[in-house]
């Protein structure tokens, strides 16, 4: 098992066993259309498949790890953990984002800056303003690791035969084939089990997106593809008329939050078309 390299809001490290227990015992390729911090992906270490995200910087980061790990490590070593340097690095990171075309060297530089800012910024947050500028302030850390040599090399080996894309999650319709596994972890705000879906709205991923995700899940199901979805409890209402899908409620500890008082256990759901008898939870002793 490799370690995730970035800290990421909504990461699934606290839910790995719950999520994996709903995966099928056997499947072919693995796909994750909302890769984020990649906790589940790096836990599985799939031999083939695809990852995707709409965040261009994040996808450049994973492509750089896959294609230029040693150059990335070398670039990471030039950084300094100082507040003045942090803000200079943040300005450069935002400058690179404005370029429509970048050289390989600039893409490696951006990936390195992303890791540095992620490991030294306030509370491990990744946040952009409406103009797309990364605006997280400097954070106080004890000896932050922003080189991450071992983790980068391990991740590069895992990503070697993985397709990496920066597009809408609907790409998966043409990418996945029968007996593949698709794990969806879309943007959402975990809320109580009794919340009303008509009042539920996740920033950047609204009701129409959730409905598209449901429809794509149904299409994948019809094609014989395994589907597992992490989501917020109210979203289950969208799946209640799909007989092949079931739901399970879990609690997840959210450790990255700008408000310390808001951290704690929150309800989430795992939605899947994998029949119970085919799920890994039936063979937990094999995954301890």
Same domain, 48 and 175: yes
In whole angstroms, give the CA distance from residue 277 to residue 205: 32
Per-residue model confidence (pLDDT) at position 198: 58
Q: Per residue, what are the HEC states of 86-114?
A: HHHHHHHHHHHHCCCCCCHHHHHHHHHHH
Question: Does residue 12 carry a pLDDT above 90?
Answer: no
Spacing of C-alpha 226 from chain mean position: 19
CA distance 32 to 44: 11
pTM of the complete model: 0.90
Q: What is the pLDDT of residue 130?
A: 87
* CATH code of the domain covering residue 89: 1.10.1020.10
Most confident of 82-91, 117-126, 197-206, 233-242: 82-91
Q: What is the mean pLDDT of residues 141-168?
A: 97
- pLDDT digits 0-9 by tens, 183-216: 999 998 767 666 666 555 555 788 899 999 999 9
Query: Cα separations (Å) of 151 from 7, 28, 42?
Result: 13, 25, 10
Q: Are residues 208 and 233 in the same domain?
A: yes
How far is Cα 121 from Cα 106, in angstroms, rounded to an integer?
21
Per-residue model confidence as pLDDT tens digits over 223-275: 999 999 999 998 999 999 999 999 998 876 554 443 434 444 567 899 999 99
Residue pair 270/230 in contact (Cβ under 8 Å)? The answer is yes
What's the confidence (pLDDT) of residue 3?
Answer: 87
Q: Is residue 156 part of a domain?
A: no
Q: Are residues 136 and 251 in the same domain?
A: no
> Which strands make up the sheet holding 226-231, listed edge to edge?
162-165, 49-52, 30-32, 181-184, 226-231, 264-272, 246-254
pLDDT of amino acid 167: 98
Query: What letter does residue 124 receive in the DSSP assignment?
Result: G
Q: Are residues 8 and 130 both part of a single domain?
A: no
Single out the residue of 126, 130, 100, 132 nearest to residue 113, CA to CA.
126
Do 208 and 275 belong to one domain?
yes
How big is the chain, counted in residues? 288
Q: Which domain holds residue 49?
A: 1-54+167-288
**Dist CA 187 CA 83 (whole Å):** 31
Same domain, 127 and 219: no
Residue 283 has pLDDT above 70, yes or no: no
């Amino acid at each position: 098992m490799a370690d995730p390299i970035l800290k990421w809001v909504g990461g699934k490290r606290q839910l790995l066993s719950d999520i994996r227990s709903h995966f099928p015992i056997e499947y072919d390729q693995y796909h994750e259309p909302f890769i984020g911090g990649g906790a589940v992906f790096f836990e599985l270490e799939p031999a083939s498949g695809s990852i995707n995200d709409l965040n261009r910087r994040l996808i450049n980061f994973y492509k750089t790890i896959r294609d230029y790990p040693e150059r990335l490590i070398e670039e990471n070593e030039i950084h300094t953990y100082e507040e003045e340097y942090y803000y200079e690095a943040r300005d450069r990171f935002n400058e690179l984002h404005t370029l429509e075309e970048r050289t390989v060297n600039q893409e490696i530089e951006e990936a390195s800056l992303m890791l540095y800012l992620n490991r030294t910024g306030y509370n491990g947050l990744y946040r952009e303003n409406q103009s797309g500028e990364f605006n997280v302030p400097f954070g106080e850390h004890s000896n932050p690791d922003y080189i991450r040599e071992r983790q980068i090399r391990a991740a590069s080996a895992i990503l070697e035969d993985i397709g990496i894309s920066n597009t809408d999650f609907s790409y998966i319709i043409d990418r996945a084939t029968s007996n593949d596994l698709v794990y969806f972890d879309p943007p959402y705000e975990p809320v109580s089990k009794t919340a009303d879906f008509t009042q539920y709205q996740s920033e950047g991923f609204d009701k129409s997106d959730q409905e598209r995700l449901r429809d794509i899940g149904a299409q994948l199901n019809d094609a014989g593809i395994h589907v597992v979805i992490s989501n917020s409890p109210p979203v289950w209402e969208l799946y209640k008329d799909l007989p092949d899908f079931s739901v399970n409620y879990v609690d997840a500890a959210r450790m990255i939050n700008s408000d310390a008082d808001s951290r704690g256990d929150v309800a989430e759901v795992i939605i899947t078309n994998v029949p119970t008898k085919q799920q890994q939870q039936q063979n937990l002793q094999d995954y301890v």
